[in-house]
Amino acid sequence: MPVIELDMLIAFVNPLDKLHQVAVKVFGKIVKGELRGFSAASSAYLEYELILRSRGYPEEDIRLEVEAFRRLRNLGEVPLTSSVLIEASRLREQFKLTYFDSLHAASALLHDGKIASIDAAYFKIPELEVIDPRTLC
């Protein structure tokens, strides 16, 4: 099932995000087991951490935020491996993706070829199935 990237993580924790209600419903369905096989990309956690760090969050708060995602029942994790880094490099070169978009896309491609996101960048990659999270509610 699809890999979740940064936009859904941020939407879940930010009530002002336009996808907040969608993210709450999607993560709720994952936790209840109504949506199965979803995983977060480790690269999404890394990007999330860097955003918090850039905003001056203390280490303890950053750690607690990431731990809260890890505690979500039924949410797997796709590890950041050397294979992901190599595939991400190919994607950046071929499709001119940003660094983190390339990592998330590579994680999804090497996992099962599916990503849940509204980011238009992913539609450039023909072998990647993009699932709009709004269709999961």
Select the CATH number that applies to the domain covering 3-130 from these four: 3.40.50.1010, 3.40.50.150, 3.40.640.10, 3.40.50.300.
3.40.50.1010
What is the phi/psi pair of residue 112, to 5°? -150, 10
pLDDT in tens, 17-76: 999 999 999 999 999 999 999 999 999 999 999 999 999 999 999 999 999 999 999 999
Quote the pTM value.
Answer: 0.95
The structural domains of the chain, with segments of one domain joined by +, span 3-130
Residue 78, burial from CB neighbour count under 10 angstroms (0-12, 13-18, 19+): buried
